[in-house]
Structure 1
Amino acid sequence: MRDTDARRARPASQQGMRRANLALVLGEFAAGPRSRAEVAATTGLTRAAVSSLVDELTTAGLLAECGPAVPSGKVGRPGTALALDPQGPAGLGGEIGVEHLAACVVDLRGEVRGWLRQDVTNRDRPAEAVLRDLAVLLREVADSCGLTPAGLAVAVPGLVGAAEGVVERAPNLGWSDLPLAAELRRALREADAHPLADLPIDVDNEANLGGLAELWLGEGPDDFLHLSAEAGIGAALVVDGRLLRGARGYAGELGHVPVHPDGPACPCGARGCLEQYAGEAAVLRAAGLADTGGDWVALLARRAADGDPAVLAALEAAGSALGVAAAGAVNLLDPAALVLGGGYAELAAWLLPAMRTELADRVTVRAWYDDWLTASRLGRRGPLLGAGIGVVRAVVADPGRFAAAEA
Structure 2
Amino acid sequence: MPPVEPVREPARQRDLRDRNLATLLARVAAAGGADDDAAPSRAALAAATGLARGTVSALVDVLLAAGLLEELPPPPRTGAGRPANGLRLSGGRVAALGVELGASHVVACVRDLTGAVRARVARGSVDRTGAPERVLAASAELAGAALAQARAQGLEVVGGAWALPGLVDSAAGRLRLAPNLGWRDVDVLALLGAHPGLAGLPLAVDNEAALAAVAELWHPGDALDGSLGGTSFVLVTGEVGIGAGVVLDGRPLRGERGWSGELGHVTVDPAGPRCGCGARGCLEAYAGQEALLRRAGLAGDGTGADALRRAAEAGAPAALGALEEAGRALGVALAGAVNLLDVDAVVLGGTCAPLAPWLAAPLERELGERVLRARLLGVPVRVSTTGADAAVMGAAALVLQRVLDAPAALLG
Report the TM-score, using the length of structure 1 for normalisation: 0.90
Q: Does 1:131 align with 2:136?
A: yes
Q: Is the 8 A contact 2:344 2:379 kept in 1?
A: no
Q: Is the 8 A contact 1:360 1:368 kept in 2?
A: no
Question: What residue number does 2:207 align with?
Answer: 205
Instruction: Supply the distance in 1 between the matched residues of 2:230 and 2:10 (Cα, whole angstroms).
Output: 41
> Deviations for 1:44-98, whole angstroms, at most 9, x for unmatched residues?
2111110121122123221223321576x67411233332222121111111122
Instruction: Supply the distance in 1 between the matched residues of 2:230 and 2:278 (Cα, whole angstroms).
Output: 36
Give the C-alpha shift of residue 164 in structure 1: 2.4
Question: What residue number does 2:67 align with?
Answer: 61
> Deviations for 1:335-368, whole angstroms, at most 9, x for unmatched residues?
0111011100110000011001111110014536
Give the C-alpha shift of residue 148 in structure 1: 0.7
Give the C-alpha shift of residue 265 in structure 1: 2.2
> Deviations for 1:174-206, whole angstroms, at most 9, x for unmatched residues?
11111111111112x2xxxx4x42121010111
Instruction: Supply the distance in 2 between the matched residues of 1:112 and 1:369 (Cα, whole angstroms).
Output: 37
- Structure-to-structure mapping, 1:153-232, within 5 angstroms: 153-161=161-169, 163-187=171-195, 189=196, 194=197, 196-216=198-218, 222-232=231-241
Instruction: Supply the distance in 2 between the matched residues of 1:127 and 1:368 (Cα, whole angstroms).
Output: 49
* SS of the residue 2:21 aligns to: helix
- Residues 255 and 42 of structure 1: CA distance in aligned 2, closer, same or farther (over 3 Å): same
Instruction: Supply the distance in 2 between the matched residues of 1:91 and 1:174 (Cα, whole angstroms).
Output: 29
More helix by percentage:
1
* SS of the residue 2:281 aligns to: coil
Q: Which amino acid aligns with 1:27?
A: A
Q: Which amino acid aligns with 2:260?
A: A
Q: Does 1:267 align with 2:276?
A: yes
Instruction: Supply the distance in 2 between the matched residues of 1:123 and 1:269 (Cα, whole angstroms).
Output: 18
- Structure-to-structure mapping, 1:8-407, within 5 angstroms: 11-30=10-29, 31-32=31-32, 33-69=39-75, 75-146=80-151, 147-161=155-169, 163-187=171-195, 189=196, 194=197, 196-216=198-218, 222-292=231-301, 294-367=302-375, 372-403=380-411, 407=412
Q: Which amino acid aligns with 1:252?
A: G
Q: Which amino acid aligns with 1:122?
A: D
Instruction: Supply the distance in 2 between the matched residues of 1:316 and 1:369 (Cα, whole angstroms).
Output: 24
- Residues 243 and 109 of structure 1: CA distance in aligned 2, closer, same or farther (over 3 Å): same
> Deviations for 1:262-302, whole angstroms, at most 9, x for unmatched residues?
2222232322111111111221121122232x221000000
Across the aligned residues of Structure 1 and Structure 2, the Cα RMSD in angstroms comes to 2.1
Give the C-alpha shift of residue 260 in structure 1: 0.8
Q: Is the 8 A contact 1:86 1:109 kept in 2?
A: yes
Instruction: Supply the distance in 1 between the matched residues of 2:376 and 2:172 (Cα, whole angstroms).
Output: 39
Report the TM-score, using the length of structure 2 for normalisation: 0.89
Give the C-alpha shift of residue 370 in structure 1: 5.5
Instruction: Supply the distance in 1 between the matched residues of 2:105 and 2:295 (Cα, whole angstroms).
Output: 23
Question: What residue number does 1:3 align with?
Answer: none
- Residues 304 and 209 of structure 1: CA distance in aligned 2, closer, same or farther (over 3 Å): same
Q: Structure 1 regions of 5+ residues with no counterpart?
A: 1-9
Q: Is the 8 A contact 1:100 1:122 kept in 2?
A: no
* SS of the residue 2:73 aligns to: strand
Q: Is the 8 A contact 1:284 1:290 kept in 2?
A: yes
Instruction: Supply the distance in 1 between the matched residues of 2:52 and 2:341 (Cα, whole angstroms).
Output: 44
Identity %: 47
Give the C-alpha shift of residue 104 in structure 1: 0.8
Moved more, 296-305 or 168-177: 168-177
Alignment length (residue pairs): 387
Moved more, 257-266 or 337-346: 257-266
Q: Is the 8 A contact 1:104 1:388 kept in 2?
A: yes
- Residues 220 and 142 of structure 1: CA distance in aligned 2, closer, same or farther (over 3 Å): farther
Q: Which amino acid aligns with 1:358?
A: E
Give the C-alpha shift of residue 220 in structure 1: 12
Question: What residue number does 1:7 align with?
Answer: none
Give the C-alpha shift of residue 154 in structure 1: 0.8
Instruction: Supply the distance in 2 between the matched residues of 1:376 and 1:155 (Cα, whole angstroms).
Output: 17
Q: Is the 8 A contact 1:166 1:177 kept in 2?
A: yes
